[in-house]
Amino acid sequence: MFTNRLLRLVPALAALALAAQPAGADEFTKEDLADWQQQFKSVMEKGEALFHSSDLGTNGHSCDGCHPDAANTHPETYPKYQQQIGEMAELRDMINWCIENTLDGEPLPLDSPELLQLEAYINWERRGVAMAPGKH
Ligand code: HEC
């Protein structure tokens, strides 16, 4: 029966789950933690500098002109339907929308370090805000 077939799958699934687990994934030292926090801080601070610079566009404006301290960026509401884009969007899609439409710049490639830096900074500024995906 169906249940029996499922039960026979259990050992195979357990083996797969174990194989997928990287060795020692749960173990880390205080030094590791300090290193990871430093890496986050360094990326986030680059994002902060970009957010306050006019380098992302061509009209001399910067993100902070309209979003001081990342105000009204609402990273906690993503992914959500975005009217400007006309479909479900991620935070990075709206970052690029603003680069194109408010700074007259070229959208950043989705795998660019700059996009990651901006996301890190925006999320850092809104830390502690409750997650609310899909919210308007
Ligand atoms: C000239 C003003 C202006 C500038 C400069 C600007 N934005 Fe925006 N931004 C807006 C407006 C207007 C919206 C649309 C608000 C809406 O309806 O969601 C918006 C929306 C956003 C959103 C989505 C907010 C939400 O509520 O979902 C993000 C994220 C964002 N901007 C990031 C940026 C970043 C990053 C930059 C710099 C690259 C930037 N913005 C530059 C005006 C600006």
Which 3-state string (H, E, C) describes 56-103? CCCCCCCHHHCCHHHCCCCHHHCCEEECCCCEEECHHHHHHHHHHHHC
Fold of domain 32-136:
Cytochrome Bc1 Complex; Chain D, domain 2 (1.10.760)
pLDDT of residue 4: 61
* CA nearest ligand 1 atom 2, residue: 66
Segments making up each domain of the chain, as ranges: 32-136
pLDDT of residue 25: 75
pLDDT of residue 5: 62
DSSP class of 116: H
Q: Best substitution site from 56, 67, 95, 129 to test ligand 1's pocket, by max atoms within 8 Å of Cβ?
A: 67
Which token pair is 89?
Answer: 């969007």
Q: Best substitution site from 55, 61, 62, 66 to test ligand 1's pocket, by max atoms within 8 Å of Cβ?
A: 66
pLDDT per residue of the chain (136 residues) written in tens, 0 to 9: 455 665 666 566 555 565 665 556 789 999 999 999 999 999 999 999 999 999 999 999 999 999 999 999 999 999 999 999 999 999 999 999 999 999 999 999 999 999 999 999 999 999 999 999 999 9
pLDDT of residue 58: 98
